[in-house]
Amino acid sequence: MASAAASPARTSFLDPAVLARIDNLELLAKTVVDGFMQGIHRSPHLGLSMDFAEHRPYMPGDDIRRIDWRVYARTDRFYIKQFEAETNADVGFLLDVSSSMDYGSGAVSKLDYARFLTASLAWFSAGQRDRVGLYAFDADVVEHVRPAVAHLDKVMHAVARVRAGGTGSWDRPLARVGATFRRRGILVAVSDFYDDSAGLSSALGAFRAQGHDVVAFHVLDPAEIEFPFTQSANFRDAETGRVRPVWPEKYRGAYQERVAAHVAELGRRFGQQGVDYVLLDAAEPLDRALYAYLAFRRKTAKAR
């Protein structure tokens, strides 16, 4: 994989605080993906399968490993071997829109960050000629877009439209996904995963067992990780509305330990189930998520 020596100017386009100023989600996704792909000098439209398609002249930025040296020997010119793009793969995005996602201590909330990420990955996948679909859910699926090549616009509109609300639960949404997402494909889950790690991993692992590739993006706000509060106060659960008096200065350490343990447990259990797990900070640029997804796709492509 090429190194990601992105310049500060390009990096700024991946900063959530900057992206939050772009109203058009489609434009945002295009900006992110194009900027990211230029940064790693890789054309976003090339497939990675082994089925040869055609030759074309070498263009700066192309991977030199894909130059057909035999043709060079015959013609004294550089040609690139093009393969059939990875088409016909269904990519289903599972976007958590429960109330807990509507939280942000910085410029963007977790839901906004998840929105940016989902839109960018959908754009990226559509560029690979994948069929993209969407399941936005809280306790049930609230927005469903069936995977199809022409459904990128629908996915974008649905992602832009959804609002956070309700209590989060994975049972009914995953049952609905299982009933509708039948063809082998890729499932991308974006959530804060406030749930039992064992249940989550087994539920997503079930999809892995059905032949789907599954990647889980765990989005957390910096305040959820660091717990920077100082004043003793009543804390109210965004989903259940329960209130608890908390003395943060005394309890911060224990909280951070519990969060770290939960993250570690999720990573471990998802790994056991063959589910890729990526922890994301809502304040960090989208680069890491995109790299992780690209690596995931490369890995799944090779596996096929």
Question: By C-beta, is 229 or 296 nearer to other proteins?
Answer: 229
For the bound state, the minimum distance from the C-beta of residue 192 to other proteins, rounded and expressed in Å, comes to 6
Using the minimum distance from each CB to other proteins, give the nearer residue, 78 or 194. Answer: 194
CB neighbours of 44 closer than 8 A, spacing ≥ 6?
A: 33, 34, 37, 124, 127, 128
- Cβ proximity of 91 and 188 under 8 Å: yes
Q: Which is nearer to other proteins, 236 or 299 (CB)?
A: 236
> In this structure, are residues 227 and 248 in contact, taking their beta carbons and an 8 Å threshold?
yes
Nearest to 159 by CA among 118, 219, 204: 118
In angstroms, what is the minimal distance from the CB of 218 to other proteins? 13
Strand pairing report for 185-191 and 90-96: parallel
Report angle CA 202, 151, 134 to the nearest 5 degrees: 25
User: Closest separation between CB of residue 195 and other proteins, Å?
Assistant: 9
Binding site for other proteins (CB under 8 A): 99-101, 103, 110, 192, 194, 221, 224, 229-230, 232-240, 242-247, 250-251, 254-255, 258-259, 262
Q: Which two tokens stand for residue 139?
A: 């306790």
Q: Which is nearer to other proteins, 86 or 192 (CB)?
A: 192
| CB-nearer residue toward other proteins: 48 or 225 | 225
Which CA distances in Å does 128 have to 33, 149, 185, 243, 294? 12, 10, 13, 47, 11
Closest contact distance (angstroms) between CB of 277 and other proteins is 18
Q: Minimum Å distance from CB 241 to other proteins?
A: 10
Contact 267, 213 (CB under 8 A): no
